[in-house]
Amino acid sequence: RKEVEQDPGPFNVPEGATVAFNCTYSNSASQSFFWYRQDCRKEPKLLMSVYSSGNEDGRFTAQLNRASQYISLLIRDSKLSDSATYLCVVRDSNYQLIWGAGTKLIIKP
């Protein structure tokens, strides 16, 4: 079983729609959680950290459920520029970043 699991997609979504990604992690001792965005042939960039209380940044909302070891990302009013791969990332007790394989999102006009 992979340490961080994501649906690889692709998710094909019309512009303006709401889309949600989920991610599960196996190490209950994991300490911090992130969503990164990666455009094709580019480096990953931090989208947002994920806090236990849930957090929002504009059109993006992240949730963490420690009991279920589950992280989610919600994108509202999706834009063409949101097309990318979204990587769920968990920081374990050794401070290593453990990455999911990513979920590919394609926003269609």
Partner 1 sequence: GAGVSQTPSNKVTEKGKYVELRCDPISGHTALYWYRQSLGQGPEFLIYFQGTGAADDSGLPNDRFFAVRPEGSVSTLKIQRTERGDSAVYLCASSRGGGSLDEQFFGPGTRLTVL
Site string for partner 1, 9-38 (x = CB under 8 A): ----------------------xx------
Site string for partner 1, 56-85 (x = CB under 8 A): ------------------------------
Say which residues have a Cβ less than 8 Å from residue 44's Cβ, sequence separation at least 6.
36, 37, 38, 87
Q: Are 87 and 37 in contact (CB under 8 A)?
A: yes
Q: How far apart are CA 28 and CA 30, in angstroms?
A: 6
Binding site for partner 1 (CB under 8 A): 4, 8, 31-32, 42-46, 49, 87, 89, 91, 94-102
